[in-house]
Structure 1
């Protein structure tokens, strides 16, 4: 099992190390013990092979050996877990709840996260205004963690924890001092546990830019 920068006849994953969408795709692939060829993309210099199979030019994108292309991070996660789900991240009875929570994260929280992180581009309001909306999401997650023994939906990780984690991490790192003085102690613990996990450390290894031969 590996995420290899040099491989053949394997699914090809176009990725960018710091992208939260790509992070969660890599987390699912790695935890599923699947081999893929990792192609690290520089977003300002996207390879022609990526744009050919996915003209929108965003990552992650997974090209399967049979030619099928999976263009959304959640679909890549589902694909990986359908191949192998050793830690039961996708229990069938929780799929609707998982989907609803991830949709709320991606549709609502991400909107405010972008404005908080890039407040200098959104001058209609001060940074604190955008942060307050992010904090509302933190408060919701904190209560879920309290109710579920340190996880979002049950007493262990599910796809929801893994799919939300990169975005919570990104938001917390905008102003880490602020985040650490908030009352969301369970969220802080949950985040640090994931950041320090061997799984996250593995998927965050640096790879050189992939260049076509």
Structure 2
């Protein structure tokens, strides 16, 4: 019977870290793959944060990858993956914290930023983090060895490496390759990639390019500087929306629609987003709900991400709100809809156009 059970997801770099530690230590483990887009019922009873990785060791549960890895290193001390000297152990923990709070944030910010100007600034920030790793980390600590602390692999190496295996996605979507001038970093990446533990669970570059498309592509269509629209959102995309600078989410779906997230409000607020849910039927115009949705676009903090099942209702409300705010003519509304590829045949939008433009045009004629 396996000593450890790990709940993991192949696409997740955090879970990748802990699987590498298990393999490096030769620990017998049972792997349970979790579909992060369709988590099993009761998963939060195993993982209180609803995330991977989580390990079970007897009656003990541990979550959060950095904590899991130190736990494994203490409970299964050979081979040790932290330096023996206290000062070097402190250095290792500093670099693990740097990975979690600076490097990963810079990597993710570049991949997820939808705006070219934001991408330029994010690329500069990531370059600075790589330069810091090269000069303050590898040049000063690795000596003549291939790894962070010389000739022996450590938790620091395993903490950083999953993002470097995924670098193909960053290069594909943002044109940001690993800078060749960082020679120690290049050598380190090559050395770690040749480890048997790494090769045992490595994925091809195309795998990450395909799986990371949803992060790199914009999650929404921008109708104005204040309003964007999208189809139904996953919890992951709610977090992504917050990272992309949205301040609020307006959900036009009804709780009885398939796939409605019962805890969307709590998840949105946890990500720092204001939230409103105003159900709007897709089949027929609803003047009361339409007016309520328009009021929400006026009152919620901007920019707002409006979403529904496929984005049509959201597009209709965004166009109405934009037309009211900017005083658009009927021709300008048509032009705006064409620019952002939105459907003018939404019942709510048609009702608005009928009441505000058709009657007016007939009077003028």
Contact 2:7 2:32 (8 Å CA) reproduced: yes
Which residue, out of 171, 174, 189, partners 1:175?
A: 171
SS at match of 1:48: coil
CA distance in 2, matches of 1:27, 1:20: 10
Contact 1:62 1:71 (8 Å CA) reproduced: yes
Indicate how the Cα distance of structure 1 residues 205 and 112 shifts in structure 2: closer, same or farther if over 3 A, else same: closer
Indicate how the Cα distance of structure 1 residues 131 and 185 shifts in structure 2: closer, same or farther if over 3 A, else same: same
Which residue, out of 192, 200, 204, partners 2:190?
A: 192
**Structure with larger Rg:** 2
Q: By how many angstroms is 1:124 displaced?
A: 8.4
Aligned to 2:61: 69
Contact 1:117 1:171 (8 Å CA) reproduced: no
- The 5 A counterparts of 1:120-131 are 120=114, 123=115, 125-131=117-123
Q: Deviations over 1:43-85 (max 9, x none)?
A: 011123432122321110112222x210110121112222334
Contact 1:89 1:159 (8 Å CA) reproduced: yes
CA distance in 2, matches of 1:88, 1:157: 9
Contact 2:13 2:162 (8 Å CA) reproduced: yes
CA distance in 1, matches of 2:44, 2:82: 31
Contact 2:111 2:170 (8 Å CA) reproduced: yes
Contact 1:11 1:35 (8 Å CA) reproduced: yes
Contact 2:2 2:28 (8 Å CA) reproduced: no
Q: Is the deviation greater in 168-177 or in 110-119?
A: 168-177
Higher relative contact order (CA 8 A, sep 6+): 1
Q: What CA RMSD, in Å, does the superposition of the two structures yield over aligned residues?
A: 2.4
Aligned to 1:35: 28
Aligned to 1:3: none
Q: Deviations over 1:162-183 (max 9, x none)?
A: 1111124334641166425531
Contact 2:18 2:53 (8 Å CA) reproduced: yes
Indicate how the Cα distance of structure 1 residues 114 and 12 shifts in structure 2: closer, same or farther if over 3 A, else same: same
Contact 1:12 1:64 (8 Å CA) reproduced: yes
Q: Which TM-score applies when normalising by structure 1? A: 0.81
Indicate how the Cα distance of structure 1 residues 9 and 27 shifts in structure 2: closer, same or farther if over 3 A, else same: closer
Indicate how the Cα distance of structure 1 residues 194 and 44 shifts in structure 2: closer, same or farther if over 3 A, else same: same
Which residue, out of 99, 106, 116, partners 2:100?
A: 106
Q: Which TM-score applies when normalising by structure 2? A: 0.49
CA distance in 2, matches of 1:87, 1:109: 27
Contact 2:110 2:122 (8 Å CA) reproduced: yes
Aligned to 1:118: 112
SS at match of 2:32: strand
Which residue, out of 8, 12, 20, partners 2:5?
A: 12
Aligned to 2:90: 96
